[in-house]
């Protein structure tokens, strides 16, 4: 049956629509931190549909909210008052830390970032955007145009002029050998120099932790230092929280808060985890920025009643059960366990991350050269052991991505770490 489905997939879907594994997997159902495939095999899920199943599979509170809302009305568009949308917007505005915040809902992180770019360029009357090297912001035409990762940028055409800034990757590049303070200073000097050679940009867009780039991050405080430079020139700061938001990093509710000494970003985008699998994204911005558009704009599917009901139930569960604190505690144990394993595996260059957002970078032993074949072999071995993980990375690197649902418990973390240990030790 799986082979038949694979053949049908290949016959009707694009060649560039990648599938994991030599024998692709059909996931039929899930519960908690586990999923099952069409053959009845059970897996511990450490990737959550690309960081989207944030709390748990089949979470009763979310399932109940979706079912009850579906029995009333699923959709009406933004042309009508929508109580669940207003209620979720109120909560997100308050949690964002942005003063006088306005919220606009979309169907994805790509669309959220696209909207943020529209707002910033309209507000600033500039189509120049600063973006980070090794970044990823989605698959729309404008989002691809600012993505700083060649593996995810299929065209150089763009409606935007993009200038790329140093700093998103701590352990590679020209400043890697510096101390944290010197690294930040060098990146700030580079930013100032760049700004001296171009017309004023609209905004800097940055992921506090680069997701597709392999869970890389600068030292805490880099974006606060950037913010000082940007603020002096009226340039906006867009924080892309599509993967880092809602407490995943453990230490903070939002990734930007590790860089927050100069206050919140001007614009923040979110998606993925808030819907726990439902299609929810959005933008939060100061009112004068959000309201700067002078023509009509709506969202047919952004903020539908059913997705907002899911988001409200999911956010309530996350806050009431302190899943941010759980990500900090269990994630801390998991990353230390994986670092202990990696110390005995020459192919592991680095284990990095925070909370339940952990990257394991695979290179050819004794070098910084990427080894995608070995990374793929570890991915396969983990699956054979009953564990699903992801992969990514920039700088031509191969990084295994570990991002379980935030309700992961200690026993499951230990089980997953043991499977990963066996997979890593299987490297020839």
Q: What is the largest CA-CA distance in the chain?
A: 61
- Mean pLDDT computed over every residue of the chain: 95
- pLDDT for 151: 83
| DSSP-assigned states of every residue in 257-296 | GGG-TT---SEEEE-GGGGBTB--EEEEEEHHHHTT--S-
**Residue 1, pLDDT above cutoff 80:** no
> What is the arithmetic mean of pLDDT over 251-256?
97
- pLDDT for 317: 98
Q: Which of 155-169, 216-230, 311-325 has the lowest mean pLDDT?
A: 155-169
pLDDT classification of 396: cutoffs 50, 70, 90: low
Structure-token match 């024998």, residue found: 23
> What is the arithmetic mean of pLDDT over 47-64?
97
Distance CA 306, CA 302 (A): 11
**Residue 16, pLDDT above cutoff 70:** yes
Name every residue whose Cβ is closer than 8 Å to that of residue 50 and which is 6 or more positions away in sequence.
272, 390
> What is the arithmetic mean of pLDDT over 195-201?
95
- pLDDT for 242: 97
148, 133 in Cβ contact below 8 A? yes
- pLDDT for 260: 82
Name every residue whose Cβ is closer than 8 Å to that of residue 190 and which is 6 or more positions away in sequence.
165, 166, 167
Q: Dihedrals φ, ψ of 92, to 5°?
A: -70, -40
> What is the arithmetic mean of pLDDT over 163-186?
96
- Residues of the chain by 3-state class (helix, strand, coil), percent to 5: 40, 20, 40
Count other Cβ atoms within 10 Å, centred on residue 343. Answer: 10
Distance CA 274, CA 295 (A): 29
User: Domains in the chain, ordered, with CATH?
Assistant: 2-58+323-425 (3.90.1150.10), 64-320 (3.40.640.10)
Structure-token match 């206050």, residue found: 263
């Amino acid at each position: 049956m799986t082979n038949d489905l694979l053949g049908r997939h290949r016959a009707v879907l694009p060649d560039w629509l990648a599938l994991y594994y030599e024998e692709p997997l059909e996931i039929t159902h899930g519960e908690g931190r586990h999923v099952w495939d069409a053959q009845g095999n059970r897996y511990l899920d450490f990737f959550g549909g690309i960081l989207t199943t944030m709390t748990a599979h089949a979470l009763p509170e979310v399932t109940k909210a979706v079912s009850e809302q579906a029995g009333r009305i699923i959709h009406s568009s933004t042309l009508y008052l929508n109580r669940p949308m207003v209620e979720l917007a109120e909560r997100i505005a308050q949690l964002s830390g942005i003063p006088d915040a306005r919220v606009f809902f979309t169907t994805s992180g790509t669309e959220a970032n696209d909207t943020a770019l529209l707002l910033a360029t309209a507000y600033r009357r500039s189509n120049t955007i600063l973006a980070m090297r090794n970044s990823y912001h989605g698959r729309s035409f404008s989002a691809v145009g600012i993505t700083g990762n060649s593996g995810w940028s299929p065209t150089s055409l763009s409606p935007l002029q993009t200038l790329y800034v140093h700093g998103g990757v701590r352990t590679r590049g020209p400043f890697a050998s510096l101390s944290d303070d010197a690294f930040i200073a060098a990146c700030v000097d580079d930013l100032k120099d760049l700004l001296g050679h171009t017309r004023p940009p609209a905004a800097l867009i940055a992921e506090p932790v680069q997701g597709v780039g392999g869970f890389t991050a600068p030292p805490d405080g880099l974006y606060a230092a950037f913010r000082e430079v940007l603020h002096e020139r009226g340039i906006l700061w867009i924080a892309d929280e599509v993967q880092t938001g809602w407490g995943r990093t453990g230490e903070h509710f939002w990734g930007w808060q590790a860089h927050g000494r100069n206050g919140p970003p001007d614009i923040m985008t979110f998606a993925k985890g808030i819907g726990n699998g439902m299609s929810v994204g959005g933008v939060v911005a100061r009112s004068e920025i959000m309201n700067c558009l002078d023509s009509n704009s709506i969202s047919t599917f952004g903020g539908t009643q059913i997705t907002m009901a899911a988001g409200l139930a999911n956010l309530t569960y996350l806050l009431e059960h302190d899943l941010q604190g759980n990500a900090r505690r269990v994630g801390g144990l998991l990353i230390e366990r994986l670092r202990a394993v990696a110390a005995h595996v020459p192919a592991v260059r680095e284990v990095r991350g925070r909370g339940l957002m952990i990257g394991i970078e695979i290179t050819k032993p004794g070098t910084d050269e990427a080894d995608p074949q070995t990374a793929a072999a570890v991915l396969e071995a983990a699956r054979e052991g009953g564990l699903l993980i992801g992969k990514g990375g920039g700088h031509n690197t191969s990084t295994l991505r570990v991002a379980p649902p935030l309700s992961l418990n200690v026993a499951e973390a230990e089980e997953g770490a043991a499977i990963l240990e066996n997979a890593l030790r299987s490297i020839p």
